[in-house]
Amino acid sequence: MTFPASQRAVQLTGPGRLELNEQKPVSRPGPHQILARIELSKPAIASIA
**Confidence band for 40, pLDDT divided at 50, 70 and 90:** confident
- Give pLDDT tens digits for 7-37: 888 899 999 899 999 999 988 889 999 888 8
1 in any annotated domain: no
42 phi and psi angles, rounded to 5 deg: -130, 125
This prediction has a pTM of 0.52
- How many domains does the chain divide into? 1
Neighbour count for residue 47 (Cβ, 10 Å): 6
26 in any annotated domain: yes
Domain containing 44: what range?
6-48
Question: What is the spatial distance between Cα 25 and Cα 28, in angstroms, rounded to a whole number?
Answer: 10
